[in-house]
């Protein structure tokens, strides 16, 4: 059985002519001379490198759909008929105190200077992709009113059309970065924060210096990688002038816009867009510590690290070096990732899947802890979208895992809310929305909650995408409260690995979580054999 779907996928807008395909290649069993398409091989014949990416760029997010041997669905959550862990100090558990609405879903991260969040989730890095830029107001306001952290991703300054650089090629002004920070801060209410992620080009352009000097941000994130790809960030560029501008700013732009042959092909409309790529970073231990120290000397109170679905060596580096450098949050992203732009086959076929990687992260963290070394606060990422996945991630990595980083799952409510506003204005609501009403107050079940939060006047300035994200975060919060109460965990710190069971022996072998027929067996037999 092929775990992947080669040669045709909705992401690349391709399909096979036949229902019968070769499992390995994905090519139709009978490939007929004269076929009118539209598999990836067919389409790549005349569109070439365009078939590397999901599309259309700027209008979609994409996520890998490879079916790995085990994933988080191979874990189940224990429920108990007695006990209550994590209640307020001095409070005894009983039917009147141990109610699921009393569950505290707040969490915190940081080495010494903590950041509190109302729900143990935060956004993936929303950087220079078009989908992030045009929806930023919805994402940022939504995160702020939900009380969670938002990560402003890489290359935001570098692609800013209004970017101003000095004679040393350092940032003097970046209106788009200013906009992003100011929008979040306008509605920030003590929970969560905005932090900026930085890659090779960002470092060279002086992003860290700019955001600390102008905005006084407290946190900055170093990026080693992500779950979607193992090369630098990418976007599409639609004009020759823009391509040359970004090339001049130090980015890799392909095909080369300075090449006369490429310029001729662009004029002929053989292709209509360039690709802008970031450079791959090269890590070393001493250099990592030096960069962390440099950022702290600039004034940052917290330095975080995002790493991707690399193998065990790089994972060990991330955990060990983060411990020695006192990193405030280490986010470990697994495959398959989701993204606004990544080579599709890379997204499908590279990297360690989330469950395997996260299991290894716990193993390595335990080794450090037993040696007396402090493990940094950890966040897991890589395909999470629901409260059960969040509970499982927190439990699998307990006590080191403090939160879950969510990419597409936190973006979708922002886009849906934005589109509902558009549909209301155009009197074109889909039936599955209009069945709840035609007014905002009728459609959004959390509208009055947000109104109470921001005020009756300010509510009219809140974009509906933000209300969408708030609504989604509340679904996550209440759903998590129910799962936690069922496991008799009344705060996040009470969640442990003992609250999970493996549904397969393979999952038990990978994760160290007992197979369900072995979980609590000793306790069960002790009860059975008691006199």
Q: Is the pLDDT assigned to residue 497 strictly greater than 80? A: yes
Is there a single domain that holds both residue 268 and residue 304?
A: no
Same domain, 247 and 338: no
* Higher-scoring residue by pLDDT: 338, 315: 315
Is the same domain home to 248 and 206? no
Q: Is residue 520 part of a domain?
A: no
> How far is 368 from 361, CA to CA, in rounded Å?
11
> Average pLDDT of the chain?
95
* Structure confidence at residue 60 (pLDDT): 84
Establish if 346 belongs to a structural domain: yes
Confidence of residue 55 (pLDDT cuts 50, 70, 90): confident
Residue 56's pLDDT is what? 87
User: Does some domain include residue 177?
Assistant: yes
Residues 253 and 241: their CA atoms lie apart, in Å, by 12
State the Cα–Cα distance between residues 185 and 23, nearest whole angstrom. 51
End-of-domain residue from the set 218, 247, 277: 277
Give the pLDDT band of residue 2 (cuts 50, 70, 90): confident
Predicted pLDDT at 129? 87
Provide the b/e sequence for 484-523 (b: ≥16 CB within 10 Å).
bbbbbbbbbbbbebebbbbeeeebbebbebbbbeebeeee
Q: Residue 1 pLDDT > 80, yes or no?
A: no
Same domain, 25 and 150: no
Confidence band, pLDDT 50/70/90 cuts, at residue 349: very high
List the single range of 23-27, 201-205, 234-238, 336-340 with lowest mean pLDDT. Answer: 336-340
**Position 519 in a domain:** no
Verify that 176 and 29 share a domain, yes or no. no
Domain boundary, last residue among 221, 251, 277: 277
Average pLDDT, stretch 271-285? 93
What pLDDT score was predicted for residue 232? 84
- Distance between CA atoms of 256 and 355, rounded to whole angstroms? 39
Give, in degrees to the nearest 5, the angle at Cα 314 between 512 and 404: 60
Summarised one tens digit per residue, pLDDT across range 422-441 is 999 999 999 999 999 999 99
CA torsion sign, 334 to 336 to 337 to 342? Answer: positive
| 34 in the same domain as 115 | no
List, for residues 251-266, the tens digit of each pLDDT value.
999 999 999 999 999 9
Answer whether residue 182 is part of any domain. Answer: yes
pLDDT at position 101 over 90: yes
pLDDT at 341 over 90: no
Distance CA 129, CA 275 (A): 12
| Averaged pLDDT for residues 130-152 | 96
Say if residue 258 is in the same domain as residue 296: no
pLDDT reading at 465 higher than 90: yes
pLDDT-based confidence at 472, cuts 50/70/90? Answer: very high
Residue 88: the pLDDT is: 94
**Alpha carbon distance 314, 320 (integer Å):** 10
Say whether both 430 and 294 belong to one domain: yes
User: Would you say residue 512 lies in a domain?
Assistant: no
Any alpha helices (H) in 206-311, and if so which ranges? 207-215, 240-248, 260-267, 285-298
Which CATH number belongs to the domain containing residue 333 in this structure? 3.20.20.70
* Inside any domain, residue 251: yes
Handedness of CA 173, 177, 180, 184 (dihedral sign): negative
Claim to verify: residue 26 and residue 115 sit in the same structural domain: no
Does residue 329 have a pLDDT over 90? yes
pLDDT tens digits for range 359-381: 999 999 999 999 999 999 999 99
Give 234's pLDDT tier (boundaries 50, 70, 90). confident
Q: Same domain for 238 and 225?
A: no
What confidence tens digit (pLDDT) does each residue in 279-295 have?
Answer: 999 999 999 999 999 99
Q: Report DSSP letters for 32-75, one per residue.
A: -TT----SHHHHHHHHGGGGGS-SSTTT--EE-----SS-GGGE
Question: For residue 339, what pLDDT is reported?
Answer: 82
Question: Rounded to an integer, what distance in angstroms lies between the CA atom of residue 347 and that of residue 338?
Answer: 8
Q: Is pLDDT above 90 for 443?
A: yes
Domain assignment of residue 247, given as a range? 234-277
Pair 270, 341 in one domain: no
Q: How many domains does the chain have?
A: 3
Written as six digits, the tokens of 395 are 């439990």
Is 342 found in the same domain as 203?
Answer: yes
The CA R_g of the chain, rounded to the nearest whole Å, is: 24
**Domain-embedded: residue 67:** no
């Amino acid at each position: 059985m092929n775990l992947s779907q080669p040669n045709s996928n909705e992401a690349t807008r391709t399909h096979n002519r036949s229902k019968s395909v070769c499992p390995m290649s994905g090519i139709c069993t009978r490939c007929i001379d004269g076929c009118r398409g539209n598999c990836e091989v067919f389409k790549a014949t005349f569109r070439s490198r365009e078939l590397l990416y999901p599309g259309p760029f700027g209008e979609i997010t994409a996520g890998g759909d490879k079916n790995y041997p085990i994933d988080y669905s191979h874990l189940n959550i224990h429920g108990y008929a007695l006990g209550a862990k994590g209640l307020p100090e001095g409070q005894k558990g009983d039917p009147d105190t141990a109610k699921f609405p009393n569950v505290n879903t707040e969490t915190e991260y940081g080495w010494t200077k903590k950041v509190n969040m109302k729900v143990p989730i935060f956004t993936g890095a929303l950087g220079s992709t078009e989908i992030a830029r045009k929806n930023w107001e919805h994402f940022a306001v939504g995160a702020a009113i939900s009380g969670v952290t938002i990560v402003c991703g890489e290359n935001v300054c570098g692609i800013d059309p209004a970017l101003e650089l000095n004679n040393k090629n350092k940032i003097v002004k970046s209106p788009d970065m200013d906009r992003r920070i100011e929008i979040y801060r306008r509605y920030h209410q003590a929970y969560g924060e905005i932090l900026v992620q930085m890659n090779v080009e960002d470092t060279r352009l002086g992003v860290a210096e700019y955001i600390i000097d102008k905005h006084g941000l407290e946190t900055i994130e170093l990026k080693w990688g992500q779950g979607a790809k193992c090369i630098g960030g990418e976007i599409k560029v639609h004009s020759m002038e823009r391509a040359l501008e970004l090339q001049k700013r130090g980015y890799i732009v392909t095909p080369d816009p300075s090449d006369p042959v490429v310029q001729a092909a662009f004029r002929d409309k053989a292709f209509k867009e360039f690709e802008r790529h970031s450079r791959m970073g090269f890590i070393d231990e001493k250099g990592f510590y030096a960069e962390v120290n440099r950022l702290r000397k600039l004034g940052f109170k917290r330095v975080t690290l995002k790493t991707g679905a690399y193998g065990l060596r790089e994972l060990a580096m991330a955990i060990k070096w983060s411990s020695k450098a006192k990193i405030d949050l280490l986010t470990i992203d697994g495959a398959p990732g989701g993204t606004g732009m990544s080579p599709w086959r890379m997204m499908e076929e590279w990297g360690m899947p989330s469950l395997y990687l996260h299991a290894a992260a716990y193993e390595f963290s335990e080794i450090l802890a037993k040696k007396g070394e402090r493990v940094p606060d950890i966040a897991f990422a890589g395909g999470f979208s629901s409260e059960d996945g969040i509970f499982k991630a927190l439990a699998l990595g307990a006590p080191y895992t403090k939160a879950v980083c969510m990419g597409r799952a936190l973006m979708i409510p922002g886009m849906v809310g934005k589109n509902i506003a558009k549909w209301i204005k155009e009197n074109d609501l889909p039936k599955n929305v209009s069945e709840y009403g035609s007014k905002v107050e009728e459609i959004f079940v959390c509208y009055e909650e947000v109104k109470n939060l921001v005020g009756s006047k300010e509510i009219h300035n809140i974009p509906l995408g933000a209300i969408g994200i708030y609504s989604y975060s509340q679904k996550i919060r209440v759903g998590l409260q129910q799962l936690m109460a069922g496991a008799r965990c009344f705060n996040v710190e009470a969640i442990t690995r003992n609250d999970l069971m493996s549904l397969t022996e393979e999952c038990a072998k990978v994760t160290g979580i007992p197979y369900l027929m072995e979980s609590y067996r000793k306790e069960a037999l002790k009860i059975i054999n008691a006199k």
